[in-house]
Amino acid sequence: MRRGSLLLVALSALALVPVPAKAVGNGPGGSSGCTPGVSVQVPAASSPGKAVPVATSAAVVCPTPEASGPGGIWGPHNKVSQPPINVGADCQQEVWEPTELSLTPGGQQEVFWPDPANPGTGSDTPEPQFISQIIGGISAMDFWTTAGTTTDYFMPFLLKGKVDATGACVPKDPANPQASFNVICGTAPVPVTCLRTVTHRAGGGPLPITALQGVDIRGQMLQLIHPGTVASVPAQPNPAVVNVPACFFLNGANIAGQDVNAPQSFELVLLGPADSDGRQVFYVFRVDVQLQGVDWNFGDNGDTVPLPPQCVGVSNAPLQFAHKYLRYSPPGGFGVSATETFTLHVTEFWVDANGIPNAPLDLGNLPDIVVNPGPVPGIREVVVQEEGVPIGG
């Protein structure tokens, strides 16, 4: 088996065994980090566990923790109230209504909280509003990120009611409960400093490489690698000639329809478990696929040679090689076959309460993918000593 030299492409060998996870800097398979975003900005988030092609040079976007289920609504579920005093008497206390967060299909962040002081909505008619329009003093992305990683937000209202027999502070008029509630944050947009907060950190940490292998990323990449088919010039049955380089091409070789000579990148998303607010951490895995090299068996133990002038421009194949036979072939020709080796490099990105964003982790290489171009069982190259048909003929 002989390693072929790719036309106009230099390929360096990558490590063939997994390496310990470590933080990485700029370079193939890694970057200085990822940009916090929302799930609709990451195509792979809509189909967790399935690899999606991305531009190799594109920045990595990590969705901040949010809900992934139907409707995508998440946030604290229970209101918080101060304990009433003076059972049987008038009472006054703050009631904190939980905020719910969701995304529009276009990726705009929305927030809703029950409004017990509004007879038009009360707590039964959710009317989400855009964070950018209703919350002031903070960007929508920063509010979304903070709520997703470290903090539960509540909208406070002042209840001026009476203490019932159970010791709870309740509205004075059951027929008109809204009248007992007063808005505290009455300006629009609501200053974020007026909201009440409870620390609620979204745990995360990196997922192990075994979690990635559990979705058979190699199997997905194998389906996206197309080794192509072997062809030669002179085309059989026209024979090649001893001591004159014959051309060999791998027609149709590509990675997901893209240039097989260039690294191609894919992303897949895995989700962590939901916490009590329904938040899940989105783990973004960047998989870089690269052709490491082509091993040829020309049937005579010979190696590849530089592409001669007569081989240039006769094919549009992405992989082009040449071989010089030093002896003529058996009557049936030399059997010719090729083996292509692709490396898979994985880097993990995510955002949680431990860092916004966390430093990416270099998870090393998955086992190589080795494929053979067609046809099956392969072509046969007849080589003669006398003058043959010209290559262009």
49-101: pLDDT as tens digits:
999 999 988 899 999 999 987 678 899 987 877 666 566 788 888 999 999 99
Reply yes or no on whether the pLDDT at 7 is more than 60.
no
The pLDDT score that the predictor gives to residue 22 is: 34
Give the residue-averaged pLDDT of 126-145. 92
The pLDDT score that the predictor gives to residue 304 is: 96
Interval 202-221: pLDDT, tens:
988 898 877 777 899 999 99
Interval 306-357: pLDDT, tens:
999 999 999 999 999 999 999 999 999 999 999 999 999 999 999 999 877 8
The pLDDT score that the predictor gives to residue 32 is: 53
Domain spans in the chain, listed from the N-terminal domain onward: 2-65+204-384, 80-199
The pLDDT score that the predictor gives to residue 377 is: 86
The pLDDT score that the predictor gives to residue 314 is: 92
Q: Are 181 and 152 in contact (CB under 8 A)?
A: no
Q: Are 264 and 254 in contact (CB under 8 A)?
A: no
Reply yes or no on whether the pLDDT at 167 is more than 90.
no
Percent of the chain with pLDDT over 70: 86
